[in-house]
A and B are shown apart, each in its own frame.
Chain A
Amino acid sequence: MGFKEYCFKKSLWLFHFGGASCNNCDIEILDCLTPRYDVERFGMQLVGSIRHADVLLVNGSINRRDKARLLDLYHQAPKPILVVAIGACGCTGGIFAEGDTFAGPVDKIIPVDAYIPGCPPKPEAILAGIVKLLNKK
């Protein structure tokens, strides 16, 4: 078992970064915590600080003001960390990719491990994406 596998063996803690988004992905991520989807049965929970997190969830197109902060967060994160880009905006910039303030999709700024497309992706899709990412290693 390598170091990375060892780190991600048990309960993953998630940190959520909402970029310049329309809020849809944000509430679908929150929905994962509520009784119908209940992500805590996999030992996952949202945490308040990136320094406690194993997974960084990023959604929304990243504008110029967010870019520096996303980089800061990534540098502050304990390594190894898994980065998941959520939603059409997180994956490619989506409908806002031609905007004046667009500073590039997430994978142009930090390395991304998994993409979950959809506008917004259903909570089932978000769960399936993260579970798939865990099984991949």
Chain B
Amino acid sequence: MSKIIPIGPYHPLQEEPELFKLYCEGEIVKDIKWETGYNHRGIEKLSQSRTFDQVFFLVERICGICSTSHPFAFANCMEEIAGIEVPDRAKYIRTIIAELERIHSHLLWVGLAGHFLGYNTVFMWAWKYREPVLDLFEMITGNRNSYAMFKIGGVRRDIENNKITRIKETLDLVKKKTDLLAGAVMDDPVIHARTKGVGILTKEDIVNYGAVGPVARASGVAIDVRHDDPYAAYPLVNWKVITAQSGDVFAKAEVRLLEMYESISIIDQCLARLKKEKEGETEIVVKEVPEGIGTGHAEAPRGEVFHFVKTDGSNYPVRHKIRAPSYVNIATFRKSCVGQTISDATLSLAAVDPCYCCTERMAYAFDVETGKKIYNGNELLALSQSKTEAIIKRIKTEL
């Protein structure tokens, strides 16, 4: 008989509300189930009542950690519909912001992974060295998170040339500290023992589950939207897709640490090009968006973000569909956690860097044969309550 160990929904281990149920026999996890919905905010529906300019602020607040990737994907999408090409300076600025975000997000993950391992020093270090990056954001955009930099046709604010030295100095510091962190993680025998061979996802699993981002790249699947479907300034600079082969937690950490170096190099190249461009040419004015449909991707720190928008020539999206990377990555828990001890399972959960606030969608029950929608969440609840009432009535009459 297996025992159920619940983790969540409000657990000190987790930042966000979600519920995992580990079905265990002894120490070994036999099955895992998860429940979400604690974070549902109805963003796709809200988006339909916002103008295109306002939607940027809304999609930015889908997720606070990857708050550039969603506006980035939405901007790509709207520019596809309107058929416009943004100025080069705007492309570089967009790329710089997205890569700075990748650095701070990966540092955040390294810290949290250290915390899960019981290495609180790594947690404190990584979060301390994340602060200079957030300071840069504050200098460029005026806010530490939720930058509000994107608009259709360009960016809202310029990075003036006199700020470039400060950005470079901070990046040098971050690079030095990343060396330190990478050394601490890569050379530590305890971390090797704890993470190698844990939560392995094979290439086949990745393809079957459709996983994306660093999770896929750590298993040797070189999938990266920046490379496969280039956007913004990525085709204009030199960089490479980082992959690792073993697919365990260690490989995921390795991929993320090495990606930070790539991000720093991309930003350096963009800053050099930015100096040559004329200051102030950061947007082209878009008067109206024609009727049409468009799709947009962006590579978030966690994988591919996908936006679909249908417009009818008015000021509002008619339909806005969002798919966040964690949505597909969470499903890989079935492979990575089953068969491991409980202590390793929690580490495997953390290694995916799941982001539930991106993922929350409405649940419906469908009929398997006809594919028709039968119940939504409230109706399911009402169904359950009516069953209880029926049972109470039956018991009363029997008495």
Which residues of A are in contact with B by a Cβ distance under 8 Å?
Answer: 17-28, 30-31, 34-36, 46-49, 60-61, 63, 65-66, 69, 73, 94-96, 98-102, 119-120, 122
| Contacting residues, chain A, for B57 (C-beta < 8 A) | 95
Q: Given A18-B17, A27-B65, do A120 and B144 touch, yes or no (CB 8 Å)?
A: yes
Q: How far is the CA of A65 from the CA of B378 in the complex (A)?
A: 11
**B85: CB under 8 A from chain A?**
no
| Residues from 128 to 179 in B contacting A, C-beta threshold 8 Å | 128, 131, 144-146
When the two chains form their complex, are residues B16 and A23 in contact, meaning their CB atoms are under 8 A apart?
A: yes
When the two chains form their complex, are residues A23 and B63 in contact, meaning their CB atoms are under 8 A apart?
A: yes
Q: How far is the CA of A19 from the CA of B146 in the complex (A)?
A: 18
**B10: CB under 8 A from chain A?**
yes
Select A99's contact among B16, B41, B355, beta carbons within 8 Å. Answer: B41
Nearest 7 CB-CB pairs, A to B? A24-B64, A48-B12, A34-B127, A99-B42, A23-B64, A100-B42, A22-B61
When the two chains form their complex, are residues B355 and A101 in contact, meaning their CB atoms are under 8 A apart?
A: no
When the two chains form their complex, are residues A23 and B46 in contact, meaning their CB atoms are under 8 A apart?
A: no
When the two chains form their complex, are residues A23 and B15 in contact, meaning their CB atoms are under 8 A apart?
A: yes
| Contacting residues, chain B, for A119 (C-beta < 8 A) | 61, 146
When the two chains form their complex, are residues B38 and A63 in contact, meaning their CB atoms are under 8 A apart?
A: yes
When the two chains form their complex, are residues A22 and B131 in contact, meaning their CB atoms are under 8 A apart?
A: no
User: Told that A22-B63, A23-B355 touch, could you supply 14 new A-B pairs with CB distance under 8 A?
Assistant: A18-B10, A21-B16, A22-B61, A22-B64, A23-B15, A24-B145, A30-B127, A31-B131, A47-B12, A69-B9, A94-B61, A95-B46, A96-B61, A102-B41
Q: How far is the CA of A26 from the CA of B61 in the complex (A)?
A: 13
Q: How far is the CA of A21 from the CA of B40 in the complex (A)?
A: 9
Q: How far is the CA of A48 from the CA of B13 in the complex (A)?
A: 8
Q: How far is the CB of B184 from chain A (nearest CB, A)?
A: 16
Select B15's contact among A30, A47, A48, A94, beta carbons within 8 Å. Answer: A30
Q: How far is the CB of A17 from chain B (nearest CB, A)?
A: 6
When the two chains form their complex, are residues A24 and B67 in contact, meaning their CB atoms are under 8 A apart?
A: yes
Q: How far is the CA of A27 from the CA of B9 in the complex (A)?
A: 17
Q: How far is the CA of A60 from the CA of B9 in the complex (A)?
A: 15
When the two chains form their complex, are residues A35 and B355 in contact, meaning their CB atoms are under 8 A apart?
A: no
Q: How far is the CB of A133 from chain B (nearest CB, A)?
A: 22
Q: Which of B124, B127, B355 has the most CB of A within 10 A?
A: B127
When the two chains form their complex, are residues A18 and B41 in contact, meaning their CB atoms are under 8 A apart?
A: no
Q: Given A17-B10, A27-B64, A99-B45, do A34 and B124 touch, yes or no (CB 8 Å)?
A: yes
Q: How far is the CA of A24 from the CA of B10 in the complex (A)?
A: 17
| Contacting residues, chain B, for A99 (C-beta < 8 A) | 41-43, 45-46
Select A65's contact among B11, B38, B58, B357, beta carbons within 8 Å. Answer: B38
Q: How far is the CA of A56 from the CA of B348 in the complex (A)?
A: 30
Q: How far is the CA of A46 from the CA of B120 in the complex (A)?
A: 14
Interchain Cβ contacts under 8 Å between A and B, 23 examples: A17-B10, A20-B17, A20-B39, A21-B16, A21-B64, A22-B61, A22-B146, A23-B64, A23-B357, A26-B16, A28-B144, A30-B15, A34-B128, A34-B131, A36-B128, A48-B12, A60-B39, A63-B39, A69-B10, A73-B10, A96-B43, A120-B144, A120-B146
